[in-house]
Amino acid sequence: MSKQQRDALNRMFRNLPFSIEGDPAVQRAAMEAALTAAPLPPDVTVTEGTLGGIPVVQVDVDGVDTSRTLLHFHGGVYVLGSARSSVGLAAGLGRHAGVRVISVDYRLAPEQPYPAAVEDALAAYKGLLANTAESRIAVSGESAGGGLAAALQLRLKEEGLALPAASVLLSPWTDLTLSGRSLTGKASVDPSVLTAEGLKTRAYDYLGGADPRNPEISPVFGDLSGLPPMLIQVGSHEILLDDALRLAATAAAHDVDVKLEVTAGVPHVFQAFAEVLDEGKAALASIGGFLRAHLADASTD
């Protein structure tokens, strides 16, 4: 990554017109406008629909294998964001992995606290599983969506349901007790809208009185044994760095085939900025290779 690329991205992050603090309705609208402002490539088709009764957005890139699906969960600290706002990143994931991506519009706090998001994730996954073999399904998510993708797998294991073939977690928020040292240790270099105080506010909204150590809320405290291969990506300049590191350590301790990729000097969910950041392009290429290696295709029929 050139210093010019990093400096430009940091400036863009520091000038984003939304915050994770303040009135959720106001910040949702500002975040949606900011993240959907750039036009999508002409070979990307976006279709709104439902899956298992849950609103979703399907993202297809011309030429991908539509028999394989990446079920994606957007970020936004469980209070902001939408499936529509994550389409740009979803398209990049789909393009590099050669698969269809379905982004889930799970319910948001504080109006719908835990377990609403997990229940919506489960319903959407079951809807997909009804017509797609688990060997052709992977799950992914960024930030809170990464934590939700991990939580979904714990719920699937608990209920004895078929697990996906793999998971990809981008800068996942996995500890809502907010005990990671990087929350303060990386605060001076993290240019994103994430702050320790903002995360504290939104964790309170999402918890709704639930125990933050519940593994479905904070997967870093869960029994991850039996989960499928997992790829975790994070930047070294993130206040959520420890959430990713500790989840990877927990997965490894529980004999999960886990791959951790820490990219130096980059901020939160840097993959979404692959058009202006070389490391973002490299990260998407790595994700693509990982998913291609683990997802079955039509030739296995």
pTM of the model: 0.97
What pLDDT digit, counting tens, does each position of 202-236 carry? 999 999 999 999 999 999 999 999 999 999 999 99
238 is catalytic: yes
The answer to whether residue 299 scores a pLDDT higher than 80 is no
The 3-class SS string of the chain reads CCHHHHHHHHHHHHCCCCCCCCCHHHHHHHHHHHHCCCCCCCCEEEEEEEECCEEEEEEEECCCEEEEEEEEECCCCCCCCCCHHHHHHHHHHHHHHCEEEEEECCCCCCCCCCCHHHHHHHHHHHHHHCCCCHHHEEEEEECHHHHHHHHHHHHHHHHCCCCCCEEEEECCCCCCCCCCCHHHHCCCCCCCCCCHHHHHHHHHHHHCCCCCCCCCCCHHHCCCCCCCCEEEEEECCCCCHHHHHHHHHHHHHCCCCEEEEEECCCCCCHHHHCCCCHHHHHHHHHHHHHHHHHCCCHHHC
The predicted-structure confidence for 99-119, as pLDDT tens digits, reads as follows 999 999 999 999 999 999 999
pLDDT tens across 256-297, in order?
999 999 999 999 999 999 999 999 999 999 999 999 999 987
Q: Considering 143, 171, 192, 218, which one is annotated as catalytic?
A: 143
In the set 72, 171, 237, 238, the catalytic residue is: 238
Query: What pLDDT score does 215 carry?
Result: 98
For the chain, domain boundaries? 3-295
On the question of pLDDT at 11 being above 70, the answer is yes
Superfamily of structural domain 3-295:
Alpha/Beta hydrolase fold, catalytic domain (3.40.50.1820)
Q: Which of 268, 279, 286, 294 is catalytic?
A: 268
CA angle 88, 236, 121 (to 5 degrees): 45
143 is catalytic: yes
